[in-house]
Amino acid sequence: MNSRRISSTSNTIVKEAARLKRKRHRYQGRLFLVEGEDLLDAALGCGVVPRQVFVLEGYEDLLSGECAEHLLTTRSTPQKAPPDIYICGQAVMEKLSDLGSGSRVIAVFEMLDRKFPAGLDVPVAGSVKIDAAEGGVSSGPLLYLAGTGDPGNVGTMMRSAMAMGVSAIVMGPQTADPYSAKSLRATMGAIFQLPVYLTVNPDRLVSWAEHEKIPVVCADAHAGVPVWEAGLAGAFVLVMGSEREGIPHRLSDAAVETVHIPQREETESINVAMAGTVILYEAFRQRSAQNG
């Protein structure tokens, strides 16, 4: 596997990669940084190969064996070359790192989100299916995040959504960036497996759900029926609101049901990521019971 060495933090390649730590530059170039060998392995295991890989000198063996085989595989078409490999000094890795102390492996990937359709390629249980080769699944509900502002919560919900068989995750305009370093760490690689749609406003989401005849279910900290009393085994869109603003009226007005998680009165409500996990688990449990 061909590689080159970079020792200067002033190197143009390093400076361009470091710019991706800022959201504006990520979306300008449609590229994002992934830090750490665990996330890189998760991506490669899903067949997602980076454009560039920076590895700390002395740790080149992290890119050997099965990892090397994946890295030598072209990204998607014969016209696209395998990723560029750079062996870097500590100062370079620290410049690229979001963790302060630097990492042993940092990679640059092309963004993975998809364009939200007018009709027919978002998979939901009992509805439309995405071909497995595109990374889609079709066994679970669709999760809509209506302005969840904390990137750690966004990443955690993506991880829970993947574990509980959610078909896709759709994010409202004010939702935190799933490509931020904090969110990516919280996903634990789920971002490479779960279909993601960004900046979908409530009107568009509701129009799609009505077109597909898929019910909208909203989560509320206090209102609605206990989650275990709701019928969540079939196709539905689960809407989780922001931590402060809650769910937009357009979505709550369109909901066929509102659910809450009963808890002790003297306690604060659990955060949105925990609540989403509990509700998605209940939906998973009901689907499993229905399917025998």
* Residue spans per domain, the chain: 4-110, 132-290
Q: Looking at residue 52, what is its pLDDT?
A: 95
Q: Looking at residue 191, what is its pLDDT?
A: 95
Q: Beta partners for 171?
A: 145
Nearest by Cα to 166 from 220, 215, 237: 237
Q: Looking at residue 79, what is its pLDDT?
A: 43
Alpha carbons 246 and 77: distance in angstroms, whole number: 43
CA dihedral 198, 203, 207, 208 (to 10 degrees): 10
What is the dotted CATH code of the domain comprising 4-110? Answer: 3.30.1330.30
Alpha carbons 129 and 139: distance in angstroms, whole number: 9
Question: Residue 142: in which H helix or E strand, if any?
Answer: strand 142-146
Q: Looking at residue 268, what is its pLDDT?
A: 73
- The CATH class that applies to domain 132-290 reads alpha beta
Alpha carbons 156 and 185: distance in angstroms, whole number: 9
Q: 20-43 as b/e, with b when 16 or more CB fall inside 10 Å?
A: bbeeeebeeeebbbbbbbebbbbb
Q: Looking at residue 128, what is its pLDDT?
A: 36
195 in Cβ contact with 114 (< 8 Å): yes
Nearest by Cα to 46 from 195, 198, 197: 195
Q: Beta partners for 168?
A: 142
Q: Looking at residue 1, what is its pLDDT?
A: 63
pTM confidence score: 0.86
Q: Beta partners for 152?
A: none
Long-range interactions of 64-70: CB distance < 8 A, separation 24+? 67/40, 67/41, 68/1, 70/44, 70/45
Q: Looking at residue 244, what is its pLDDT?
A: 74
pLDDT in tens, the chain (292 residues): 678 999 999 999 999 999 999 999 999 999 999 999 999 999 999 989 999 999 999 988 888 766 666 665 545 444 467 899 999 999 999 999 998 766 899 999 999 998 887 544 554 443 333 333 343 334 579 999 998 999 999 999 999 999 999 999 999 999 999 999 999 999 999 999 999 999 999 999 999 999 888 999 999 888 889 999 999 998 999 999 887 778 889 999 999 999 999 988 777 778 899 999 999 999 999 998 888 6
